[in-house]
Amino acid sequence: MLNFDKIVKYALSEDADHVEIRFQERRYEYLLIDNGVLRECSESRSRGLNVRVVVNNRIGYASTNKLDWESIERTVKYAIKFAKALINGGREKPLKEKSIIKDKVRTVIKEDPFDIDLNEKIKLLLDFNKYSMNYSSEVSSVITRMGCEVDKRIYVSSDGSEIISEIYLIGIGHTVVAKFSGIYERVYHQESKVSGYEFIREIDWYSIIKEVTDTAIKAVHAKTPPPGSYPVVLDNDVVGLLLHEAFGHAVEADYVEIGASVLKDRISEKIASELVTVIDDGLVEGGYYIPYDDEGVRKTKTIIVEKGVLKSYLHNRYTSSIMNSELTGNARAQDYESIPLVRQTNIYMLPGDYSFEELVEDIEFGIYAKGLGSMGGEVNPSVGTFTFSIGPSYIIRRGKVEEIVRGVVISGNILETLRYVDAVGKDFKVRTSVFGGCGKNGQMVRVGDGGPHVRVRKITIGGR
C-alpha cells in the first residue's frame, strides 16, 4: 500500500503550498463474440498516481505508474517544476475553498463480476449472438459484447481530505447488421448499470436482442427521411443525448470562462421553454455513480435550468473561484494520468405531464426520434451547433406513428432548440454505458443522461 502521507509531506517539503494525490486502480474485462466466435477475451488493469501541487497559485501536474519511491519522488519534483514554470507567463489559478472530507464509498453489489466464471459469461454471450444469427437470413453479422469495470480511486490532499471510492459498472452490447439487396444497415444497443453481476441476471436480454434484430431487419428495407425541419418527438435516450450535446457542454464553466460557449453571461436569462428544467446529478438512479469529483468535492444535484431560466454553470474549484459561484463537484479526470476537467455527470430533464399519445396527436407530419441504434453526438459550444445520429425512427403522420426510416441525423442550435420544446412527457429514464462515455480534450469519462419523452416544435433532420 502506498504511503500517501509520506508523498504529501515530501511535496510540502519541496515548496508546494498545497498537494493532492489521486491514486487509481482500474480493472476492465471485455468479452466480444463476433459471428459466433469468441474474438476477444481480455482484461486490462492499470494502476498509477497523479500529483497536483499548487505553488504561488500556479498548478503543476505529473503522473506515473512506476510506484517505487524513486519514481514517485521524481513525479513530485516534475509537478513542482511545472508549477514553477508557470510563474513566468502562467496565470494565477486560485482554487475555491472546499470542505475537508473523509469518506469511503463503494457500489453495493451482490455478485462481483470478476468472480463469475468466464465460461458462464462466454456461454451467455454466445447464446445471445446465435439467437440473432439464426433469426433471419437477412442478418449478415452479429457482435455481442460484455464489459465490466471496477474503478477504485483514492483522493488525498494536504488539507486533510481522504476519499476512497470503488465503483462497479457492467453491461452488454449487441450489434446486428442486416443485408438486403446489396444494402447493409446496422443497429447497435447496449444496457449498462452501476451494479454487480446481478444486473446481468435481472434483465430480459432476449427481448432486447429481439428488438435490436427486428429493428435492423426493418431498417435495411427502410428509406431515409425527407430532409428539412419538422416537429419531432424525442424518446428518453434522444432527450438525454440532446441535453448532453446541445446543452450540457455549453454550461461547462471552463468553456464559458474562456469565452468558448454561447451561454457565456446568460445566467438568469430565459434560454429555454418554461417547460424545461435540467439537472446534473451524480447520484440519479440509472446513471453513473459520482458521489465525489476528482478534486475531492461532493457532487451536488445542480439545477442548470429551472423553468427555462439558466441558473448555474458546472464548475471545478478554479472556475467556481474566479466566477464567484458555488462548487458543483464537476471536476472529473478520465484516469490517474489525466487532469480533472469540468465535465457533466448525469444530465437529465425533469418530467412533465403529457402521455405519449398526447405528444404525437397534434403532429401533422413529423418524426418520432428513437435512441435505439443511436451512435452519439457532437457539439461545437462556441459556434452553438450540435448534431447527433439517432437510431431507426418513425414518421408521424396526422397524429399516428407510421413507417420506419433509417439514417436519421438531427442538428440544431443550442440557443434555439430548447426554446422550441412545447410538451414534456410524464415518463422518465436515465441510462449510462460501460462501453463509452463523453469525450473532451482527449479524455473519456463515464456519464449518464436521459429524461422523459419530449416534443420539439422544429428541429433539422438530415435526410436525402
Partner 1 sequence: MNIYEVLEYTVKKARNYGIDEVEVYIVDSLEIQVRGLRKYLEDVITTQSLGLGVRGCIGKKVATQGTTITSTEDVDYVLRTLVKSIKSGSDDPEWKGIPKRLSKSSVDKVFDKEIDYRDVSEYTLKVLEIIKNVESRNTQHLSTDLVISKSRVIIGNNYGEVVERLETHYYVDIEVKCCRNSEETTYRDFTASRIFKELDTNTLIANVVNNCFKFIKPKKIETGIYDIVIKGKIFAKFLEDVLAPAFCADTVQQNRSPLINKIDTQVLNEKLTIIDDGCADGLYASSEFDDEGISTKRKVVIDKGILKTYLYDHYTASREGKESTGNACRRGYSSRPRPWITNLIVKSGRSSFEDLVRDVRKGIVIYDVIGSWLSNPVSGQLTATISHGLYVEKGEVKFPVKGLVINADFYKVFKENVVELSREIESHLNIYAPSIYITNIQVSSEE
379-408: which residues touch partner 1 (CB under 8 A)?
379-380, 382-383, 385-389, 406-407
Residue number with CB closer to partner 1 (409 or 447): 409
339 touches partner 1 (CB under 8 A): yes
Q: Which of 14, 17, 35, 214 binds partner 1 (CB under 8 A)?
A: 35
Query: Least Å distance between CB 460 and partner 1?
Result: 5
Number of neighbouring beta carbons within 10 Å of residue 75: 24
Q: Which of these segments, 157-165, 294-302, 305-313, 374-382, binds partner 1 (CB under 8 A)?
A: 374-382
323 touches partner 1 (CB under 8 A): no
Q: Which of 162, 413, 427, 457 binds partner 1 (CB under 8 A)?
A: 413
137 touches partner 1 (CB under 8 A): no
Distance in angstroms (rounded) separating the CA atoms of residues 459 and 230: 6
Distance separating the N- and C-terminal Cα atoms of the chain: 59
Bridging pattern class, strands 331-332 and 341-342: antiparallel
Q: Which of these segments, 5-13, 254-262, 271-279, 358-366, binds partner 1 (CB under 8 A)?
A: 254-262
C-alpha triplet 459, 461, 463: angle, nearest 5°:
170
Q: Which of 91, 102, 265, 268 binds partner 1 (CB under 8 A)?
A: 91
Q: Which of 269, 299, 275 is nearest to 287 (CA)?
A: 299
Query: Least Å distance between CB 279 and partner 1?
Result: 26
Q: Which of these segments, 156-164, 184-192, 265-273, 443-451, binds partner 1 (CB under 8 A)?
A: 184-192
Number of neighbouring beta carbons within 10 Å of residue 249: 26
Angle of the 4-13 helix axis to the 69-85 helix axis, nearest 10: 40
Read off the C-alpha cell for 132.
Answer: 440473432
Q: Which of 47, 51, 49, 48 is nearest to 9 (CA)?
A: 51
The C-alpha cell 436519421 sits at 408
Q: Which of 45, 106, 223, 307 binds partner 1 (CB under 8 A)?
A: 45
Query: Least Å distance between CB 262 and partner 1?
Result: 10
Q: Residue 399: exposed, middle, or buried by beta-carbon count in 10 A (0-12, 13-18, 19+)? A: middle
The C-alpha cell 447527433 sits at 388
Q: Which of 118, 134, 206, 274 binds partner 1 (CB under 8 A)?
A: 118
Residue number with CB closer to partner 1 (34 or 214): 34
Query: Least Å distance between CB 85 and partner 1?
Result: 6
The C-alpha cell 489521486 sits at 22
322 touches partner 1 (CB under 8 A): no
Q: Which of 129, 140, 144, 334 binds partner 1 (CB under 8 A)?
A: 140
Residues 188-247 interacting with partner 1 (rule: CB under 8 A): 224, 227-229
Query: Least Å distance between CB 291 and partner 1?
Result: 26
100 touches partner 1 (CB under 8 A): no
Q: Which of 130, 160, 119 is nearest to 37 (CA)?
A: 130
Query: Least Å distance between CB 40 and partner 1?
Result: 6
12 touches partner 1 (CB under 8 A): no
Residue number with CB closer to partner 1 (107 or 385): 385
Q: Which of 19, 21, 22, 48 binds partner 1 (CB under 8 A)?
A: 48
C-alpha triplet 446, 451, 457: angle, nearest 5°:
125
- Residues ≥6 apart with Cβ < 8 Å to 233: 356, 359, 360, 363, 366, 367, 368, 369, 396, 453, 454, 455, 456
What CA–CA distances, in Å, run from 338 to 50, 150, 414, 441?
A: 8, 18, 28, 10
Size of the site for partner 1 (CB under 8 A): 84
Q: Which of these segments, 144-152, 266-274, 359-367, 454-462, binds partner 1 (CB under 8 A)?
A: 454-462
Check if the beta carbon of residue 237 is closer than 8 Å to that of residue 431.
Answer: yes
Residue number with CB closer to partner 1 (370 or 406): 406
Residues 289-318 interacting with partner 1 (rule: CB under 8 A): none
- Residues ≥6 apart with Cβ < 8 Å to 422: 273, 275, 455, 456, 457
57 touches partner 1 (CB under 8 A): no
Residue number with CB closer to partner 1 (122 or 303): 122
Query: Least Å distance between CB 116 and partner 1?
Result: 11
Residue by residue, DSSP assigns 69-82 as: HHHHHHHHHHHHHH
Q: Which of these segments, 104-112, 148-156, 396-404, 409-417, binds partner 1 (CB under 8 A)?
A: 409-417
